[in-house]
């Protein structure tokens, strides 16, 4: 019976992550350009870190959801930018994602609203710093100097606000939903995933 309980919590956590990952498709499906960067990426990483007790699951499930959603986005909506089928792209996003999972593991020894807020803010900053550092490192848009790096970060500030709004929204949605489900089904609190 214990194995069944473990699977139920694991499946529920995984289902929440997969459903939220599907939100990444909305800007492409419906032309909601204002939603670009309003994404659940940071929230998925934090959620996995907060609720999966096994570290490998905290990485594997959110990474798998990110990877599958990227495959769909790259090959269905952005195929003109790739020669052939794209299996893996934009590795700096995965680096930032991994750092956010680690950050979440440090923050969420216990899940509280204040920690969720701190996690959201921190995730947005980590994603901003890492992703834009690698935009600068490409060397095609900004000079390879300290001034070029600062110019890159300044130019990216308007995109930061959607990232932050997305992290705050999706963290509230995911954490709130799971906490409400745990309240309704207290046995979930006792399970390990």
The pLDDT value given to residue 124: 98
The pLDDT value given to residue 21: 96
Per-residue pLDDT of the chain (193 residues; tens, 9 = 90+): 455 455 588 999 999 999 999 999 988 888 887 778 899 999 999 999 999 999 999 999 999 999 999 999 999 998 898 888 988 888 999 999 999 999 999 999 999 999 999 999 999 999 999 999 999 999 899 999 999 999 999 999 999 999 999 999 999 999 999 999 998 888 888 666 6
Output the CA torsion sign for 157, 93, 9, 52.
Answer: negative
Which single residue is written with the structure tokens 């899940």? Answer: 111
Do residues 20 and 172 lie in contact, with contact meaning Cβ atoms separated by under 8 Å?
no
> How buried is residue 34: exposed, middle or buried, by Cβ count under 10 Å (0-12/13-18/19+)?
exposed
Which single residue is written with the structure tokens 């593991």? Answer: 105
DSSP one-letter code for 83: S
- Rounding to the nearest 10 degrees, give the CA dihedral for residues 145, 147, 149, 154: -170
Which residues are within 8 A (CB) of 103 and not within 5 positions of it... i.e. 6 or more apart? 46, 49, 119, 122, 123, 126
């Amino acid at each position: 019976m214990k194995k069944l309980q473990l699977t139920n919590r694991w499946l529920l956590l995984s289902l929440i992550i997969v459903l939220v990952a599907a939100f990444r498709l909305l800007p492409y499906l419906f032309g909601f350009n204002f939603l670009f960067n309003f994404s659940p990426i940071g929230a998925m990483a934090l959620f996995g870190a907060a609720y999966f007790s096994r570290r490998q699951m905290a990485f594997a499930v959110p990474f798998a959801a990110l990877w599958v959603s990227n495959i769909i986005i790259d090959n269905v909506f952005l195929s003109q930018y790739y020669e052939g089928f794209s299996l893996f792209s934009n590795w700096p996003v995965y680096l930032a994602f991994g750092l956010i999972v680690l950050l979440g593991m440090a923050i969420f020894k216990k899940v509280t609203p204040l920690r969720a807020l701190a996690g959201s803010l921190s995730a947005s900053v980590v994603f901003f710093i890492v992703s834009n550092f690698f935009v600068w490192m490409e060397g095609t848009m900004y000079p390879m100097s300290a001034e070029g790096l600062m110019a890159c970060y300044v130019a990216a500030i308007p995109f930061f606000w959607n990232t932050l709004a997305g992290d705050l929204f999706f963290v509230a949605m995911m954490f709130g939903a799971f906490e409400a489900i745990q309240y309704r089904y207290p046995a979930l609190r006792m399970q390990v995933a």
